[in-house]
Structure formats: C-alpha cells, structure tokens
Homo-oligomer: A and B are copies of this chain.
Amino acid sequence: MLTQTAVPAVRSGSFKRPAMQVPPPPRNHELGSPVDLMGAPMSFARNAEIYGESEPAEYLYKVLSGTVRTYKVLTDGRRQVGGFYVAGDIFGLETGAEHTFSAEAITECKVLVIKRSTLMALAERDHEVARALWTITGGELRRSQSHIMLLIKSAQERVASFLLEMATRISAGNAVELPMSRQDIADYLGLTIETVSRTLTILENAATIELSSSRRIVLRNRPALNRLNA
C-alpha cells in the first residue's frame, strides 16, 4: 500500500492507563470450586516470570485478574508468544514433567497457584476432576491448532483474527482494551511490530476499527473483520 493520505488519525484524548484492572467476574472455566479451594492466590508484578520453559511443571495456574502470556524463545532470540490468558483461564497445565513454554505477567496480576500432585490425587478419586483436566488440555490443543491456522494467513488476516479473538475474550461492547504491547501482539502473530502497527493503521483508515488510543481499539465494522478472518 502507498502512503494513504497522511491523515494523522486523530487520537482522541490522552488516556492514562491501559489497564484491565477491573476485577472481572471470574468466568469459570472447568475446575470450579474444588480447585479454587486448594489453590493459593499469588501476585505477580508486570513482566514478572511465573515459570520458565522446561522447569518441572509442579504447579498449574488460574488467572484471577490481569493478563499472562506464555512464550518460547528460539536460540537466536526469536520469540513466539503461545497465548494470552485472562481472568478465569487456566495455564501451565502439562501432561509431561516440564513446562513447554515460559509464562510471564503482562500486567500486574493475581493467579491461583495449584499444586499438580494434589490435583492428580484428586483426579484419581474423582472422575469429574479427571475429565476436567483432560478437557482443559483439549481446549489448549484446539487453541494451538487455530494458532497454526492463523500463522499461514496474511498480515491483515492475522491482525483481524487477533482483534476478533480479543473482542470475544475481553471486550466491553465493541471496545477492546488491550493489555499487551505491540511487540507481544507481533510475537503472537508471527509478524514484526512495524507490520502490526501498519496493519492497524490500514484497518483504521478503512474505518474498520478505531484506535482511540494505542491500547484501546474499537471494532467499527465486524463484518469486514470477519471477512478477513477467512
């Protein structure tokens, strides 16, 4: 694309905090009460590591508030973000002995830390729990598979898919308050930060979205996004 009339899209007001700080109603996933009782709540500061790749997977985690990213770094430094987790989501559950990704807090956040061995013991007796564990892993598998489908698409399609995904997970109406940086998005989508930024600008110029601030995006034309979602 060429420069497009250099309309410096008016960034409405200076906003302060790209937060996500409103304690969202813990939309319960699988594993309800039993787990909530056996876990210990814990806080992590912005960018704090929750666990590292290939560390023993002694615990699993449930987000209470804030947002978490999982990622893997290749030897040469390229980083791939595996997923974003918000309130209610469970992450860090493994069938193997070690974590396959690392996990970090994107924002200040609170997570419930659950001992795997305890849960496994419980699953031994309670089928519901065993099934819940399997279902969570199955959910991750589906997420991972659609991530693969995402990575074969064009930049515009990836960004559109990302926005729609985020909209279903953390939107208030059509507005999405993104907790993560452009770099996180880029590493999730397998693009560069510049391409993400340019693509958002293109979508804004097409009136498909509105960037009220860099972290706040309003979906103006979902059909257009869905069309891109291929």
**B3 pairs with A152, CB closer than 8 A:** yes
- Given A80-B148, A148-B151, A151-B190; A137-B95 close (CB under 8 Å): yes
In the assembled complex, the CB of A116 is this many whole angstroms from the nearest CB of chain B, namely 13
| B2/A95 in contact, CB under 8 A | no
Is A118 at the interface (CB under 8 A from chain B)? no
Copies of this protein in the complex: 2
A134 close to chain B: CB less than 8 A? yes
Pick from B101, B130, B134, B154: contact of A2, CB under 8 Å: B154
How near does chain B come to A52, taking the closest CB pair, in angstroms? 16
Whether B152 lies near A190 (C-beta < 8 A) is yes
Which residues of chain A in 84-132 are interfacial with respect to chain B, using CB atoms and an 8 Å cutoff? 94-96, 100-101, 124, 127, 130-131
Complex Cα gap A166–B201 (Å):
42
Q: Enumerate chain B residues within 8 angstroms of A95, measured Cβ to Cβ.
A: 134-135, 137-139, 141
Select from chain B the residue with minimum beta-carbon distance to A127: B124
The stretch among A15-23, A32-40, A42-50, A68-76 that forms the contact with chain B is: A68-76
CA distance A47 to B72 in the complex (A): 36
CB neighbours of A152 from chain B (8 A)? 2-4, 78, 80, 151, 190
B96-A142 in contact (CB<8A) = yes
Q: Which residues of B contact A28 (CB under 8 A)?
A: none
Residue A149 is within 8 A (CB to CB) of chain B in the complex: yes
Q: Does A1 contact B (CB under 8 A)?
A: yes
Identify the A interface with B (CB < 8 A): 1-4, 72, 74-76, 78, 80, 82, 94-96, 100-101, 124, 127, 130-131, 133-135, 137-142, 144-145, 147-149, 151-154, 190, 230
Could you list some 15 contacts between A and B, CB below 8 A? A2-B153, A3-B152, A78-B230, A82-B145, A95-B135, A95-B137, A101-B145, A124-B127, A144-B144, A144-B148, A148-B148, A148-B151, A151-B151, A151-B152, A152-B190
